[in-house]
Chain A
């Protein structure tokens, strides 16, 4: 690998010698490797690993709080020998959406704003990796981080359900449906979080904007749904659900993943309407990716 250009001096082993500049003839692993490295660095960063102790606090705390209810539910189920879990796998993320939103808001800006704010981006693009590599690595890392925080509680529930000797087939089916649902949720939330944070180099603005977008859209949608439900126009309830990320996910899993809708009156979309929900989700994900690509093509050097 590295070759010493100046012969090492003889003498006591403990002495430090100036061995001069050594050139590097070893492997250069190229773009795919760089992309993977950026992915793992960003994923670790999303949980504060490899960063200061202070930045570990919030993600770790949120992770613990996400898992705690699952643990309690499992404990209750096992202790009371109940015949089913207190909550469906698909419903867990919907109930905990506030925390998920908080996690996206705190970590998405961290993932992209730092590089923008401290102008580190040109250092990446002066290397073999390109815009697409950077965007994909960041998007994948954020999605994985979200998947971890949403899927681990489901694993806890599943393991608990098996310990409580609940029906294996039922539980496995529900668990897998839940995993698909949170995977979709992770992709969608990561996309929205990253696009919003990539617009501003200021982390604070990013955090506030992500929280605002997620809570305001959900607040507005659920209020309208409640009004529609109360006025008896139940038919409108699912359609209103198209307009916020979390109700979109709810719609998709109601239509395809055997979930019970959390919409007022349980009036989720049917399979036909569900296709539109699924398309909306996929469209949003693709749109977020496109916007990120556009953004990073501009910031270049």
Chain B
């Protein structure tokens, strides 16, 4: 996508069109603290939709969000959000953007409704609109009767929803969600990810969501940006990831007939020409078989094989890359070492 996003240099012509296609753009953005370099010449363009920002803790994700909100000046380079320069138009950006912090930020002694109404007013919504939008937004994030109770009594999942609601209440064009799935159980995680997906598909709001888990972002995002040590490691659409990583994990029960069900299953699959791996190094190794799903037929094949052997199918799920493999991949590319095929890649997925 075009670098001319910075309409400053290329004139007004692109200002309107570029806003349509680029939501966030950075150009050799660097942030250095006396001891650390948090961002190192980061250049990227992010379009509308759900974008995942992946990186280990300390990779510079939060620093980037701070700069994009216009709250912290970049050491060098430039950045624009919704076509607005972060260095000079921070207030205008913050009016159009929502932010959900990673940490707890809710006072326990007020109700979700009171709190979100207050935050809506802080965003400039008139009192009546603030109340109306609060009721709508809390309903959309899935808080109903409990919204009148003090937040102190909420579960982590409910608190995350309130945090999300306050970021959405003023109907921003873009939201920054910092680690929204932190502290949630698997079900809560899935619900939150579904909600994030809906923020774009149903609400029409672009999303920048950070996480240190690539797996969960793959399912949710249209585009994933990986940063490490303040540098851009990879920026690609999620289809790139998923195409190479359609790996199935299968776990079967043992029966009297087949005391080692896993081995029986492996042999049966081999007999049908399907290659498997034993997932060594993974939790549950020895009980899990990994195979590459070529097409939809693979699922049927697995089902028929399991049924034929009379085993119980404990699980069959898609596995995806773990973030560490993206790092490994890129290291390999850098050192021009051999690039192993995606089917060897294993990791913890959903």
Contacts and interface: CB of A to CB of B under 8 A. Distances in A.
Contacts of B104: 118-119
Interface in A265-301: 300-301
Interface string B204-217: 10000000000000
Contact of B95 (A23, A51, A128): A128
A300 to B, nearest CB: 6
B140 interface: yes
A126 B107 contact: no
B32 to A, nearest CB: 18
B121 A37 contact: yes
Interface in A18-38: 20-24, 26-31, 33-34, 37-38
B124 A30 contact: yes
Contacts of B97: 126
A301 B100 CA distance: 11
Interface of A: 1-2, 20-24, 26-31, 33-34, 37-38, 41, 50-52, 55, 114-115, 118-120, 122-130, 300-301
B257 to A, nearest CB: 51
Given A2-B132, A21-B203, A301-B71, 16 more contacts: A2-B129, A22-B136, A26-B126, A28-B95, A28-B125, A29-B125, A37-B121, A38-B122, A41-B118, A55-B109, A114-B107, A115-B107, A119-B105, A120-B106, A123-B122, A300-B72
A50 B105 contact: no
Contact of B123 (A21, A28, A55, A114): A28
Contacts of B95: 28, 30, 127-128
Contact of B108 (A118, A119, A129): A118
Interface residues of B, number: 41
Nearest to B125: A28
B202 interface: yes
B121 A123 contact: no
Given A120-B105, A120-B107, A126-B99, A33 B171 contact: no
Contacts of B345: none
Nearest to A123: B105
A119 B178 CA distance: 15
Contacts of A52: 109, 150
B20 to A, nearest CB: 17
A31 B91 CA distance: 9
Contact of B69 (A1, A37, A50, A301): A301
A118 B124 contact: no
Contacts of A20: 202
Contacts of A51: 109-110
B184 interface: no
Contact of A29 (B62, B124, B203): B124
Given A20-B202, A28-B124, A51-B110, A1 B129 contact: yes
Nearest to A120: B105
5 pairs of A and B residues whose beta carbons are closest in the complex: A126-B99, A24-B171, A28-B124, A37-B121, A29-B124
Contacts of A27: 124-126, 129
B94 interface: yes
A122 B105 contact: yes
Given A30-B124, A52-B109, A300 B118 contact: no
Contacts of A114: 107
9 contacts: A21-B140, A26-B129, A30-B95, A114-B107, A123-B101, A123-B122, A127-B95, A301-B69, A301-B71
Contact of B129 (A23, A24, A30, A55): A24
Nearest to B119: A123
A298 B105 CA distance: 17
A122 B98 CA distance: 12
Nearest to A20: B202
A282 to B, nearest CB: 31
Nearest to B108: A118
A37 B114 CA distance: 13
Contacts of A21: 136, 140, 202-204
Q: Which of B108, B123, B204 has the most CB of A within 10 A?
A: B123
B170 interface: yes
